[in-house]
Structure 1
Amino acid sequence: MGAIVGVISKNNNNYLKGMTNLLSHRGNRSKEIINKDIGVSVRYSKNLEDNYYDNGDISVVDGNIYNYSELNEEFNASNKAELLIKGYKKYKGSFFKKIRGVFSIALWLKDTRTLVLARDPFGVRSLYYTKNTNDDSLLFSSESKAFMVNKNFKKKFNKKALKPFLSFQYAALDETFFEGVYKLPHGSFMQYKDGEINIEKYWKAEFKPNKASLEEHITDIRDIMEKSVERHKVGLGENLGSFLSGGVDSSYIAALLEPKETFSVGFANYGEAFDETDIAKDLSKIKGFNHNKKVINGDECLSVVRKIQYHMDEPQANLSSIPLYFLVHMAKENMDVVFSGEGADELFGGYDLYGDTPKMAMYKKLPFKFRRAIREKVKDKPQTRLNAFLNRGGAYLYEDFIGEAKVYTPKEANEILRDEYNVGPSAYDIAKDFYEKNSSEPEITKQQLMDINYWMPGDIFQKADKMAAIVDLDVRMPFLDLDVMEVASKIPEEYRVYKNHHKYALREASTNVLPDEWAFRNKKGMPVPIRHWLKDEGCYEEFKEVLTNDVAKEFFNTDILKTMLDDHYSGSDSYQRHLWTVYVFLIWYDIYFIKEDYLMEQ
Structure 2
Amino acid sequence: MGGFTGVIRNYPEIPDEEQKAVFKEQIQWLIHHYSDDEGYYYDKYASLGFKRSTNSGYESELRPLTYEDEAMWFVFYGDIYNTEELRQNVTTEDDTIATESDAEMLAVLFKKYQEQAFALLRGTFAVLIWDKEQAILYGARDPFGIKPLFYRETDEEAVFASEKKCISFMAEHEAIDTEALQHYLSFQFVPEPMTMTDHIKKVAPGHYFIKKPGEKMTQHRYWQASFTPVLADKQNWIRRIRDSLYDSVKVRMNSDAPIGAFLSGGIDSTIMAAIAKEFKPDIKTFSVGFDREGYSEIDVAKETAAKLGVDNIAYRITPEEYVKALPKIMWYMDDPLADPACVPLYFAAREARKHVDVALSGEGADELFGGYNIYREPESLKLFSYIPFTVKKLLKRVAAVMPEGVRGKSFLERGTTPLRDRYIGNAKMFEEDEKQAFLKSFRKDLSYREVTGPLYDQVSAYPFINQMQYIDIHTWLTGDILLNADRMLAAHSLELRVPFLDKEVFRVASQLPPKLKTGNGTTKSILRDVSRGLIPDHVLDRKKLGFPVPIRHWLKNELYDWAKRLIQESSTDHLLDKSYVLNLLEAHCQDKGDYSRKIWTVLMFMLWHQIFVENQFDRETLTQTGSDSKVFLRSESS
- Shorter chain as denominator, the TM-score bin is over 0.9
User: Where do residues 377-396 of structure 1 align in structure 2 (5 Å cutoff)?
Assistant: 377-379=398-400, 381-396=403-418
Say how many residue pairs are matched: 594
Q: 1:18 to 1:98 in 2, by over 3 A?
A: same
User: Where do residues 506-545 of structure 1 align in structure 2 (5 Å cutoff)?
Assistant: 506-536=527-557, 539-545=559-565
- For 1:210, which of 212, 215, 230 is the aligned residue? 230
- Whole-Å Cα distance in 2 between the matches of residues 551 and 379 of structure 1? 37
Q: 1:173 Cα shift?
A: 3.7
* Aligned counterpart, 1:331: 352
> For 1:28, what is the secondary structure of its paired residue?
strand
Q: 1:41 to 1:596 in 2, by over 3 A?
A: farther
Q: 1:437 Cα shift?
A: 2.5
> For 1:23, what is the secondary structure of its paired residue?
coil
Q: Is residue 2:20 matched to residue 1:20?
A: no
- Give the share of equivalent positions with the same residue, in percent: 31
Q: 1:562 to 1:288 in 2, by over 3 A?
A: same
- Whole-Å Cα distance in 2 between the matches of residues 192 and 598 of structure 1? 35
* Aligned counterpart, 2:6: 6
User: What's the TM-score, normalizing by structure 1?
Assistant: 0.94
Q: 1:379 to 1:472 in 2, by over 3 A?
A: farther
Q: 1:7 Cα shift?
A: 2.0
- Whole-Å Cα distance in 1 between the matches of residues 519 and 246 of structure 2? 24
Q: 1:433 Cα shift?
A: 2.9
Q: Is residue 2:49 matched to residue 1:41?
A: yes
Q: Is residue 2:286 matched to residue 1:266?
A: no
Is the Cα–Cα contact under 8 Å of residues 241 and 335 in structure 1 kept in the other structure? yes
Deviations 1:50-107 (A, max 9, x none): 3631123101111011111211122333332222223223223332121111001010
- Whole-Å Cα distance in 2 between the matches of residues 126 and 156 of structure 1? 20
Is the Cα–Cα contact under 8 Å of residues 410 and 428 in structure 1 kept in the other structure? no
* Aligned counterpart, 1:578: 598
Deviations 1:338-369 (A, max 9, x none): 11111111011111111337643345543354
Q: 1:425 Cα shift?
A: 2.7
Q: What amino acid is the match of 2:439?
A: L
* Aligned counterpart, 2:82: 67
- Whole-Å Cα distance in 1 between the matches of residues 318 and 388 of structure 2? 49
User: Where do residues 429-444 of structure 1 align in structure 2 (5 Å cutoff)?
Assistant: 429-444=450-465
User: Where do residues 181-260 of structure 1 align in structure 2 (5 Å cutoff)?
Assistant: 181-195=200-214, 196-236=216-256, 239-258=258-277, 260=283
Deviations 1:176-212 (A, max 9, x none): 1111111010001111102320100100101111111
- Whole-Å Cα distance in 2 between the matches of residues 591 and 102 of structure 1? 29
Q: What amino acid is the match of 2:561?
A: E
- Whole-Å Cα distance in 1 between the matches of residues 450 and 478 of structure 2? 19
Deviations 1:544-581 (A, max 9, x none): 23324462321122232122111101112110011000
Q: What amino acid is the match of 1:563?
A: N
> For 2:50, what is the secondary structure of its paired residue?
strand
Q: Is residue 2:500 matched to residue 1:489?
A: no
Q: 1:113 to 1:493 in 2, by over 3 A?
A: same
Q: Is residue 2:71 matched to residue 1:56?
A: yes
User: Where do residues 41-440 of structure 1 align in structure 2 (5 Å cutoff)?
Assistant: 41-43=49-51, 44-45=53-54, 46=56, 47=58, 49-50=60-61, 52=63, 53-54=65-66, 55-73=70-88, 74-75=90-91, 76-78=96-98, 79-132=101-154, 136-150=156-170, 155-195=174-214, 196-236=216-256, 239-258=258-277, 260-268=283-291, 270-271=292-293, 273-356=294-377, 359-362=380-383, 364-379=385-400, 381-418=403-440, 420-422=441-443, 425-440=446-461
Q: What amino acid is the match of 2:204?
A: P
User: Where do residues 497-512 of structure 1 align in structure 2 (5 Å cutoff)?
Assistant: 497-512=518-533
- Whole-Å Cα distance in 1 between the matches of residues 380 and 187 of structure 2? 27
Q: What amino acid is the match of 2:83?
A: Y
In structure 2, the gaps of 5 or more residues are 624-638
Is the Cα–Cα contact under 8 Å of residues 145 and 478 in structure 2 kept in the other structure? yes
Q: 1:230 Cα shift?
A: 0.6
User: Where do residues 562-573 of structure 1 align in structure 2 (5 Å cutoff)?
Assistant: 562-573=582-593
- Whole-Å Cα distance in 2 between the matches of residues 453 and 529 of structure 1? 28
- Whole-Å Cα distance in 1 between the matches of residues 62 and 140 of structure 2? 15
- Whole-Å Cα distance in 1 between the matches of residues 77 and 306 of structure 2? 36
In structure 1, the gaps of 5 or more residues are none
Q: 1:489 Cα shift?
A: 0.8
> For 1:15, what is the secondary structure of its paired residue?
helix
- Whole-Å Cα distance in 2 between the matches of residues 327 and 148 of structure 1? 29
Q: 1:375 Cα shift?
A: 3.3
Q: 1:516 Cα shift?
A: 2.8
Higher deviation after alignment, 420-429 or 452-461: 420-429
- Whole-Å Cα distance in 1 between the matches of residues 509 and 131 of structure 2? 37
RMSD, aligned CA: 2.1
Is the Cα–Cα contact under 8 Å of residues 51 and 60 in structure 1 kept in the other structure? no
Q: 1:392 to 1:279 in 2, by over 3 A?
A: same
Is the Cα–Cα contact under 8 Å of residues 262 and 286 in structure 2 kept in the other structure? yes
- Whole-Å Cα distance in 2 between the matches of residues 474 and 369 of structure 1? 55
Q: What amino acid is the match of 1:264?
A: S
Is the Cα–Cα contact under 8 Å of residues 88 and 95 in structure 1 kept in the other structure? yes
Q: 1:129 Cα shift?
A: 0.7
